[in-house]
Structure 1
Amino acid sequence: MSPNMIGFSFVMIGIFLIFGKFVRRHVKWLRNLFLPSSIIAGFIALLLGPDALGRLTSQFLNEGNYFYNGLVPEFILEVWRPLPGMFINIVFAALFLGKAVPSLKKIWNTAGPQIIMGQAVSWGQYVVGLLLTIFVLTPVFGMSPLAGALIEISFVGGHGTAAGLAGTFDTLGFAEGADLALGLATIGILVGVMVGIIIINIAYRKGTAKYVGGEAAFTDEEREQLGESYGFDMEPTVKEAKAIEPLAFHFSLIAVAITIGYIMQQGLILLEAYTWGAWTDVYLFPYMPLFPLAMIGGMLIQLFFDKMNFHMYIDQNLISKISGFALDILLVSALATLSLDVIGDNVIPFVLISIVAIVWNVFAFLYLGPRMIPDNWFERGLGDFGQATGMTATGLLLMKVADPKHQTPALEGFGYKQILFEPFVGGGLVTAASLPLIYQFGPVVFLIISVIITALFLIFGLVHFGPNKKKKQNKSLNH
């Protein structure tokens, strides 16, 4: 493949992104769902590719015709297919760069209940997913046991994580898992917004949602910001550092973070090969993707800059722009190369996984939320529900609807929560390791581990924060 063809493939991503932006601005229901332009662009490219339009054009054109497979030639798809696995490293390497890291005490005091709640919901997704796989998907439909991790990868991890794990799915013999994960991530976003809005309206009529008011409506600018936002502000009260270095410097920091992650990855592979791997013939790290380690690399760089008092040299705005660019490329290329045949061939398992995930997330929010979050459980739990069902931006927009004037600690707690959440689940180390763990030890072993960890988080949340809620209520009654 010539360099010109590779370059033209990236030009086409830009064209589809502009097209997606145009469609989003002129189709109101897409704006109301807060779908990012990149996701819309990816689906447009998918519809114009071989799995949709190509099925029609192939009936009338010769195989040698340029448009035989639709409006997206095969050579473009060949360039796009490996992009998600590459660009996910940039996204995760930038995750903690340029963000002030508060003390663990402050994080815990502000976001403790949301941290425990988020972990319980995420580990619970493994539990329900593995139960469904062990008792239904594998024996009835012959699906790989790796399907047990699809809910957590897709609903909490989202499109980026699902696309980034495509190589791991393929290596472990479940290549169709990546396409299913992307489809499930899309279902998660749609359900997260629609079900969240419905719950808010019902709660408002019942008096549970106390802070919904006239200012909950979004301006056009806010719709754009939320719809195109994937990240979060871990320290809402800290002002952004002024940029004093060019874009190339910040990209270099991300490159160093990825390099640190790669060195760590290769070191772990070698360590495993000469120690427990050689003794037990069980190998995990060769199947583990690079991006969670790149995230750790970014954290180490940020800690170093903080320690040396150089943190002002990292401009979070520039880091966010690089990360956003990488995520747009990732989403368009991943969705455009999604196989509709895979979803069609597994439509019943796809629907079953979606239903189980939705039921668990709604149950966790409405039943566990008021029992694990001692104050403002509805507003704070909405952020966790949105993130567990769709993506971070879904949680942000639901909190804005329920608490437009920020009268509760929901937004601040949600931001702090990510510091002790993202490194592990929702695309972190646990998410990346879940597939190799299930592959090596089997779904039953990982189910037992998930049940134990879920139970520990649930018990801690119910015991530690439940009494706090009762104490606060009793104190208010006494006064």
Structure 2
Amino acid sequence: EATDLALAMATVGLVSAIIIGVAVINWGVRTGRTRVLKQVSEQSSDELRGLYSDDETVYAGRLTARPGSIEPLTLHVAVVGLAILIGWLLLEGIVWVEDMLWGQPDSVWPGEAGEGTTLLGYVPLFPLAMIGGVIVQIFLDRTGNTHLLDHETMKRIQGLALDILIVAALSTISLAVIAEFWETFLILSIAGVVFCVVMLLFFTPRIIPEFWVERGIADFGQSMGVTATGLALLRVADPDEESPALEAFGYKQLVFEPFFGGGLVTAISIPVMYATGHVYWIFVPMLILFVISLAAGIYYCRGVRKGRWTDPTMEMVKDRD
């Protein structure tokens, strides 16, 4: 039952993120808060419909290999699979280490009850697959083979994976479980959506000094759904990557994703609360971290606007220009 409720809430988050995120982007365009997208009155009918006209030439990707040797799309999917495989091997490795040290009854430190404690076994594959992607990227950089991968083709694979994720999540929901616990489901869903919207519209302009819509919408999508949701919304707000939002989001992910949002801290939170019988061991440290992060962001933003220091994202824009 808990799994069905979690899947249902995750689906609500995904769908709400897309609907609300696109609405916020449209609102930002109409009110002049976006730095990339132009006014609606300046857009063609095809742009408003989300389509390309016959006169426009837009490529889905660039061929990096000859189809007679290997299908380029197959090559890109294989690289994605390699990153996932590396992440899986890393996950299996840390689970094995845990089993040897404290995870099983015959471990070195099985605990007071002698049954072992499983923590790292709850870590999802995604953050480690992301590390696998970094490893693949470093390998390609060091060997001078980055030309084998096309950025636009990777974005097409990403978009397809996101669509499959949403459809799969919708198809696995148990309506009977939702009907049984509809009050809890409704309260948690509304509270989560309202919290994320307030963070986006009220706090983001006070934390991010430049390109706050473009940068904030990516974090909003990730908070409501998954990283791919944030990237999808970012593509809507900044389709040609004219802002530093994508780079800033990527750098943040390297620090954030392995620990939060499905990372190590998220994975061990439930086992810790179950083992201690209290939520405070997780709630209090996370609340303190949240308040400190919020205060630091507001202080930083005020400092940038008062000229005490410069925003690194603006340096990125200058370097591009």
Instruction: Please name the residue that 2:8 is paired with.
Output: 179
SS of the residue 2:244 aligns to: helix
* Contact 1:241-1:315 within 8 A present in 2 as well: yes
Find 1:267's aligned residue among 89, 93, 100. 93
Structure 1 residue 448 displacement after superposition: 2.0
SS of the residue 1:243 aligns to: coil
Structure 1 residue 284 displacement after superposition: 1.7
**2-side partners of 1:359 and 1:192: how far apart?**
13
Query: Root-mean-square deviation (CA), in Å?
Result: 3.5
Instruction: Please name the residue that 2:64 is paired with.
Output: 243
User: Structure 1 length normalisation: TM-score?
Assistant: 0.49
Find 2:291's aligned residue among 455, 463, 468. 455
* Contact 2:127-2:258 within 8 A present in 1 as well: yes
Q: How many residues align?
A: 275
SS of the residue 2:307 aligns to: helix
Unaligned runs of 5+ in 1: 1-169, 226-239, 474-479
Residue 343 (1) aligns with residue 178 (2): yes
* Contact 2:5-2:185 within 8 A present in 1 as well: no
Structure 1 residue 260 displacement after superposition: 1.4
* Contact 1:288-1:436 within 8 A present in 2 as well: yes
Relative distance call for 1:318 and 1:411 in structure 2 (3 A) is closer
**2-side partners of 1:189 and 1:365: how far apart?**
14
Structure 1 residue 241 displacement after superposition: 6.5
Find 1:441's aligned residue among 264, 272, 275. 272
Instruction: Please name the residue that 1:146 is paired with.
Output: none
Q: Which has the higher contact order (CA 8 A, sep 6+)?
A: 1
User: Structure 2 length normalisation: TM-score?
Assistant: 0.70
Alignment of 1:212-291 (within 5 A): 213=39, 214-216=41-43, 219-220=46-47, 223-224=50-51, 242-244=63-65, 246=71, 247-277=73-103, 278=107, 279=109, 280=111, 281-291=116-126
Structure 1 residue 415 displacement after superposition: 0.7
- Deviations along 1:96-148, whole A, 9 cap, x unmatched? xxxxxxxxxxxxxxxxxxxxxxxxxxxxxxxxxxxxxxxxxxxxxxxxxxxxx
Residue 360 (1) aligns with residue 195 (2): yes
**1-side partners of 2:48 and 2:197: how far apart?**
30
Relative distance call for 1:174 and 1:396 in structure 2 (3 A) is same
Structure 1 residue 416 displacement after superposition: 0.7
- Deviations along 1:157-179, whole A, 9 cap, x unmatched? xxxxxxxxxxxxx8xx6443223
**1-side partners of 2:138 and 2:49: how far apart?**
32
- Deviations along 1:341-388, whole A, 9 cap, x unmatched? 222223222322233223322322333223222235456545544554
**1-side partners of 2:182 and 2:203: how far apart?**
31
Structure 1 residue 338 displacement after superposition: 1.9
* Contact 2:17-2:221 within 8 A present in 1 as well: no
SS of the residue 1:451 aligns to: helix
Relative distance call for 1:395 and 1:364 in structure 2 (3 A) is same
